[in-house]
Amino acid sequence: MAPLKILLASACALTLAACATAKPGPTPAPGPRPTPAPAPAPTPEQFSDLPGWAAEDHAGAFEAYRATCGVARDAAMGEICRRARSRSPLDPREARAFFEDNFRPELLPGEGILTAYYAPEYEARSRPDAEFSAPVRPKPADLVSSGQGGRDAQQRGPDGKLGPYPDRTAIETSPPDQVLAWMRPEELFFLQVQGSGVVTYPDGKRVKVLFAATNGRTFAGIANPMRDRGLLAANNTSGEAIRQWLADHRGREADTIMRLNPRYVFFTTAPDDGRPPVGSAGIPLPTGRAIAVDPSRHASGELFWIDGVAPILNGAFPTYRRLVTALDVGGAIKGEVRADLYLGQGQRAGAEAGRVRHTLRMHRLVPRVGPGR
């Protein structure tokens, strides 16, 4: 091997010598940056183009719109809202005419995903035990929130410097400073996914548990990892199937799966007044008529016709076609054609919401403006 080492050493020496004596060539001038392709524009439509429009409950849609339209900041939307609120409840024919006279639909480009959420009701305890072992934590003093709805976060250290907030694993393996309630671990996990809900105590007391802040980490769903690991069947990754598996494997196995999602939600509490939960727009969410959207793509109060088809989960309704308003946001809701439909409160709503994963087309309703409108 000695001759080979000598040859390699000689080659290295020659290479280094060449590098030392060669004159560098001229630095090429940077070329022009490629112009990014413009995003596809929405496609103008007629109401007759909307799948299922003729079968819509237009009177119900009008009442939901009239109750929530005040959140829109667009001047034209504000004018239409005033018209709606000046009217008495309309019959189906009048309500349909109202929408068709005041809006024009446009199809957003591409397809996305429709999911659904709900306001859960869970049991809780004021003291921990073997079953109710997960603490509902309030927003910590060292958490600095920013962004819409406080969904971005940093940790303020003892020296005042800001850094990333710890992930779910670090938080859950640290003792809580304060506890609002004690819950079953898998139910607290689902409460964090939904963002708010109601807890009930053995004495009958009901308390609203409301979103306060997150640790700023990116949400990661656990359905696909559970499917990929063979823990759930490919067509049975509904919310109820996930919750049942976590309950059946409570402890280290379930904790390992739940901690695949680094995002952690902190809460505050309020007396249960019986009213629906409030979304990020600051008003109660109408069941079946509100969606959570990506706030970087859509504004609160925008009106959409959603066309959700081709469900992939067992037991799901085949279609979701209806008029909805953007009244909420969600950590997992990203992209222009992406919506999370609010389906109400309680166990029945939760069972339905857990099966919604449909291919989605979104049609935005744009105000008609100008003399001829």
CA separation (Å) from 297 to 237, 293, 294?
A: 28, 8, 6
pLDDT of residue 27: 57
What is the pLDDT, as a whole number, of residue 167?
96
- Write the pLDDT tens digit of every residue in 182-234: 999 999 999 999 888 999 999 999 999 999 999 999 999 999 999 999 999 98
3-state secondary structure of 246: helix
What digits encode the pLDDT tens for the residues 7-52? 333 333 333 333 333 444 555 555 566 666 667 889 999 999 999 9
Average pLDDT over residues 234-259: 94
Among residues 285, 190, 289, 290, the alpha carbon closest in space to that of 240 is found at: 190
Q: Which residue has the tokens 């409460």?
A: 191
- In order of 15, 16, 20, 21, 70, the CA distances from 24 in angstroms are 15, 14, 10, 9, 66
Per-domain residue ranges of the chain: 112-367
Neighbours of 371 (CB within 10 A): 4
The confidence band for 347, taking pLDDT boundaries of 50, 70 and 90, is confident
pTM for this structure? Answer: 0.76
pLDDT at 330 over 90: no
Residue 84 scores a pLDDT above 90: yes
What percent of the chain clears pLDDT 70, i.e. is strictly above it? Answer: 87
Q: With a cut of 50, say whether residue 138 has pLDDT above it.
A: yes
Q: 158 and 152 in contact (C-beta within 8 Å)?
A: no
Task: Say if residue 168's pLDDT is above 50.
Answer: yes
Pairing of the two strands 290-293 and 303-309: unpaired
Cα–Cα distance measured from residue 331 to residue 292, given in angstroms and rounded to the nearest whole number: 10
Q: Chain-wide mean pLDDT for the chain?
A: 88
Domain 112-367 architecture: Beta Barrel (2.40)
